[in-house]
Structure 1
Amino acid sequence: MTWYTGNAGYDTVLTIGLGIAALVIIGGLFMQSPYGRFGDAAGGIKLNPKLGWWLMEIPATVVFLVFFLSGPQRFEVVPLVLAAIWLMHYGNRGWFFPLSIRQVPGKQASFGVMVLGFGMVITAMHGYLNGAFFSHDYKHLYGTGWLTDPRFLIGLAIYLGGFALLISSESIVRNLRDKNNPGAAEYRIPYGGGFRFVTSPAYLGELIAWTGFALLTWSLAGVVILLITAGNLVPRALATHRWYREKFDDYPAGRRALIPGLL
């Protein structure tokens, strides 16, 4: 199967990735991934969230590096810049975020093994598709001129804006729990930053970031990440919004679920 890059192995995995994206979008219409506040919906063995998140995100870093470093363009300027953006994102998602979770003492584990297994497949696929694409430059895009191309510059601005919203929103939620007494209140209403407008600004930031990433890389690998992320996070944001409204009588009435003023 050679329809996008001419590399049969890469194009086959990309096709599978697009198929998985379609399934995630359809599945998201009927249920949310069972982790976090929806973790009780998962059956079977469950893990501590710190461990679950860390294990799930490891392939995004490790697999990416294996395939990036195997490519002939791995030490060229543009692939290195793209790799730096990738590693910055997954340095936060796969390393800082799990380690910074303030877990309620004694709380039952809520990260299902099924979620972990599926997540590891997805992050491994992401790592391969992007690592290989950057360092092989299959579409012959990534000469030094790419760094001044409007697609890269606009995409980078969008990505950094989304990433900043993601980081700030996660910080607000994390600091709702005291480091020394994380069990004082398991859930509170967050305020400030993106929470002035929506219930899930971290999800919005993630979606904005991956939109920018798809643009700045100008690749279907970026589109696959965006579609899978949207298929998971959009319905989850709607469910989270309903959950807060049901749990807190004083929840801000004007706050939307995901998109300010719209959704």
Structure 2
Amino acid sequence: MDWYTGDSAYDTVLAVAFAFAAFVLVGGLFTQSPYGRFATARLGFNLPPKLGWWLMEIPATVVFAVFYLGGPQRFEPVPLVLAAIWLLHYGNRGWFFPLSIRQVPGKRGSFNISVLAMGMFVTAMHGYLNGAFFGHDYRDQYDTDWFTDPRFLVGVVIYLCGFTLLVRSESIVRNLRDKTDPGSARSTEYRIPYGFGFRYVTSPAYLGELIAWAGFALLSWSLAGVVIFLITAGNLVPRAFATHRWYRERFADYPAERKALIPYVI
């Protein structure tokens, strides 16, 4: 099967997306995205994390909606279900997650403007590739038989497992900070998270994100899904190892049996 759809604009953006994924995969071997515990002001100023995350994720919702609703297949059953899965993910990632961040009062911004610029580029590209693909069904693969296709069924299970791990892990980290006493040491210092995925790895949220996008690529059976999985891996895999080292250096009592990203492996 040819990789292209026949739509010149779409295929051009898809080719650019794969080139960018290669850039991220290589770049991630040498440096970490400057946000959170790895924040830096050397690449421009930093924003508060709530604002930075929200602005970065907005294009995934807005651009997706524009191109999905502009497609002739937008009201067909399979594209509607795929769009619902998309909205589930970005309802959490683009809206709930930024608004639920417990930012320490008076603490400097930790979301670098360079991350915002690159992130908005990725989410806009991501939104276009999937919104247009679902709304137009370029490959004529999304008839109702897709609901019983093993790729869709297995992909949905994988996606939901990853999404559950992601959301639960983020909840555990969020609740490490004391919202009742924002000035206390409990609210301002990093602490070791425990429970659920943290029993096995340092970054279960990253693992959940990777599993979710792998499932999404399978259930949608699209190169757009493959692209976002590669970009996510290029960003999160090196960051998971850096985070693992950071915790081990900072906490003498850090659980020795805990791996960085994959339980019992690495």
Please give the range of the TM-score, normalised by the shorter of the 2 chains: over 0.9
Runs of 4+ displaced beyond 6 Å: none
Aligned residue pair count? 262
Equivalences for residues 210-249 of structure 1 within 5 A: 210-249=213-252
Deviation at 1:236, TM superposition (A): 0.1
TM-score norm. by structure 1 comes to 0.98
Q: Does 1:40 align with 2:40?
A: yes
Which of 202, 205, 209 is the equivalent residue of 2:208? 205
Q: Secondary structure at the match of 2:39?
A: helix
Q: Residue 165 of structure 1 aligns with which residue?
A: 165
- Aligned ranges 1:96-175 → 2 under 5 Å: 96-175=96-175
Match of 1:188 in 2: 191
Is the contact made by 1:203 and 1:233 (CA closer than 8 Å) also made in structure 2? yes
Structure 1 position 108, deviation (Å): 0.6
Alignment correspondent of 2:53? 53
Match of 1:259? 262
Structure-2 separation of matches of 1:142 and 1:171: 35
Measured in 1, the distance between the counterparts of 2:113 and 2:190 equals 24
Distance 2:80 2:42 in 1: 40
- TM-score calculated relative to the size of structure 2: 0.97
Which residue of the partner structure matches residue 10 of structure 1? 10
Report the AA paired with residue 192 of structure 2: I
> Shift in Å at residue 160 of structure 1?
0.1
The SS at the match of 1:40 is coil
Structure 1: unaligned runs, 5 residues or longer: none
Counterpart-to-counterpart distance in 1, 2:167 and 2:178: 18
Instruction: Give the secondary structure class of the aligned counterpart of 2:40.
Output: helix
CA distance in 1, matches of 2:145, 2:124: 30
- Report the counterpart of residue 84 of structure 2 in structure 1: 84
The CA distance in 1 between the partners of 2:199 and 2:245, in whole Å, is 17
Q: 5+ unaligned residues in a row in structure 2: which ranges?
A: none
Deviation at 1:110, TM superposition (A): 1.1
Match of 2:263, as an amino acid?
Answer: P
Change (3 A) 1:238 1:182: farther
Offset of 1:114 from its aligned partner?
Answer: 1.1
Greater mean alpha carbon deviation, residues 34-43 or residues 118-127:
34-43
User: In 2, Cα distance between the equivalents of 1:250 and 1:130?
Assistant: 44
**Post-superposition CA distance 1:132-157 (Å, at most 9, x none):** 00010001110011011000000000
Give the whole-Å Cα distance in 2 for the aligned partners of 1:250 and 1:206: 27
Deviation at 1:40, TM superposition (A): 2.6
RMSD across aligned C-alpha pairs, in angstroms? 1.1
